[in-house]
Amino acid sequence: MNKLVKAAFLGLIAQSMATVSVDIDGTTFESYGLVGFGKIPSDSVDKFKETMAPGSSMEIDQSSVQVDGDGTYHFTVYGLPDRGMNVDGTVNTFSRVQKFDVAFTPKNESSTDNIIWTYEDTILLKDFKGQYISGLDSNTTVEYNGQQIPAVTYQGDGWSIPSANASSTTMISLDSEAITLIGGSAANGFWISDEYGPSLFKFDSTGNMIDYIEAPQANIPHVGGEVLFSSDDSLWTEPEYSVKENENGRTSNHGYEGMDISPDGKYLFTMLQSATIQDGGEKSKNRMNTRLLKYDITVCPPQLVGEYVVVLPTYTEDGKDKTASQSEMRVLSEDLVLVLPRDSDLGRGGADGTQSIFKHVDFYSLKNADNIVGQYDGVGQQIASTKGDLNSNITPASHYSFIDMIDPTELAKFGIHNGGSDDSTLINEKWESMSLVPVKCTTDEYYLLLGSDNDYKTTNGFLDFGKIQYDSGIDVDTQSFMYHIKLPIVPHNQGCDVSSSTTSSSSSSTVPFSEPSSSAASSAIATSLNPAGSSSINTIDTNTNTNTNTNASSTVEAASTSTALSTTVFTEPCEKCTESSTSYTTYTTVTNGSTV
């Protein structure tokens, strides 16, 4: 990298307008402010001719990162949509992961986007039987290695009101919320967290399910003592569908919203979006005591080895106290995590106004927190009262405020505003994605990518492989921010020179990124889905559908020459958790008294 570019990188710190410092156990963490903004148009569609909404969680593939001679970063991002567009109920959208090529040129301010997204591909997810996975609300279960997985049985095609003699289908149900790449690369496979269970699913690089982790009973919803994974959001094909709300366990649509793997690759962390029903989750003002879980994934099956209480921030709206819902997390060490807590229904796409009150990226330290694993994990067991009073014998994680995402000075640098006109430059309501990429020419600085979930809100939407068109009454682009931050406890040892371990295929100005020493530090988001009351949905002829917008205008100019990347191979002790191949899986559901 030439001296001019190096100076430009280092100059970002000196030129930044709003440095924020946080001291945690003697270590200083800093944010140098917002250095990037970009968006994916709301009417973008994937290769299956369906509207994209990839902001529930976004993960940068560390093996893909390169830096041009002019300081532009190029990398692959895997974006996770949630269960699909809500109209008058959940729809039969097949679960998937979207792949994007991203070009990012760090700037302290810009009148145009400097995070450029280009759609590349889509991976449809399949269960252990090779069937696609549905976003429909769960109304039954299937069994896998003795564990119960949320599932749905529906008649017909799951998109239209079924006829009296329509056949039935049973599929696993998934409300996907967070993704984390194993070893920092999608080539190793990935984990996805789910709200219906709440559950944790493991997939190989092609999207085939290879493992599953059932939640502790305290987190699983029950009605009348029986497991019921429904979020009571109805099925599009059954308008009269309704169930009783769960009596304990996760609250509806507040399952595992955040998830990540520790930098050493040994532990999978996940966290409920807010408190369980028994811990105060029924009311916003009481649901601040949520549960953070830690699984050892070096053993088979994965073992729950840690559980901690995280007290979420609160804010006041119209004179009422509310709890900020955590929407994503990143694990920096076994003792420190980054969390994205935010308000709800405020901002672009929100139902309650344009003025956001609380959108943050904060730290939680587990260093002095009590590990309560196994102590409160039974059905209905409480860590707090239903009024949100934490048990006096439990020490929670320590909270440290860090980045205020609605700082008006920072937003103005990229032409974004909070409050006022409900236009395309208004900050979005739902921010649910976080990922990290090392800053070249530093040893402990990162760019923090934040992404929003637009809930499929567009006036030109398509579902069911393009056969159904809908209009949600508003166009909400998928917005993305990039912050420049310093994380001293996560050194990446990225200097300005090409690593000697990297083999150059040609003389080039492209600087390759070798795998960081903390390869999973930047590894691997959505909250409650609100039915769009103004939405309309219509069936169209697929032969006449010519909408193939893939954000073609947002392209990345290929480098004229390239340099081969070094590769870090990540190996897990076991691929599948099973005692023998003959007893690996079972698949059971009961419909009208008959076992299928």
State yes or no: pLDDT of 499 exceeds 50.
no
Give the per-residue pLDDT at 46: 98
Nearest to 61 by CA among 99, 97, 96, 95: 99
Q: What mean pLDDT comes out for the span 40-66?
A: 97
State yes or no: pLDDT of 369 exceeds 60.
yes
Instruction: Say which range, 69-83, 148-162, 437-451, 467-481, has the weakest mean pLDDT.
Output: 148-162
Mean pLDDT score across all residues of the chain: 84
Q: Which helix (H) or strand (E) holds 10?
A: helix 3-15
371 and 306 Cβ atoms separated by less than 8 Å: yes
Backbone dihedral angles phi then psi of residue 584, each to the nearest 5 degrees: -70, -50
CA 553 to chain CA mean position, Å: 26
State yes or no: pLDDT of 5 exceeds 60.
no
Residue keyed to tokens 């340099």: 563
Give the per-residue pLDDT at 286: 96
Instruction: Say which range, 280-284, 308-312, 341-345, 545-549, has the weakest mean pLDDT.
Output: 545-549
Q: How far is CA 206 from CA 127, 234, 435, in A?
A: 12, 31, 21
Report residue 484 as tokens.
């420049």
- Distance, CA of 405 to CA of 411 (rounded, Å): 8
pLDDT bucket at 262, cuts 50 / 70 / 90:
very high
**Eight-class DSSP state of 348:** B
Give buried/exposed letters for 470-498 (b at 16+ CB in 10 A, else e).
bbbebbbbbbbbbbbbbbebbebebebeb
Find the angle CA(47)-CA(436)-CA(402) to the nearest 5 degrees: 125
Nearest to 457 by CA among 348, 317, 296, 366: 348
State yes or no: pLDDT of 495 exceeds 90.
no
Q: What mean pLDDT comes out for the span 234-244?
A: 68
Q: How many percent of the chain have pLDDT more than 90?
A: 72
State yes or no: pLDDT of 535 exceeds 90.
no
- pTM of structure: 0.84
68 and 510 Cβ atoms separated by less than 8 Å: yes
- Distance, CA of 99 to CA of 52 (rounded, Å): 11
Backbone dihedral angles phi then psi of residue 162, each to the nearest 5 degrees: -75, 155
44: Cα within 13 Å, side-chain hemisphere: 28
State yes or no: pLDDT of 253 exceeds 90.
no
pLDDT bucket at 234, cuts 50 / 70 / 90:
low
pLDDT bucket at 162, cuts 50 / 70 / 90:
confident
Give buried/exposed letters for 415-451 (b at 16+ CB in 10 A, else e).
ebebbeeeeeebbbbbbbbbbbbbbbbbebbbbbbbb
Give the per-residue pLDDT at 241: 66
- Is pLDDT larger for residue 373 or for residue 558? 373
Q: What mean pLDDT comes out for the span 461-490?
A: 96
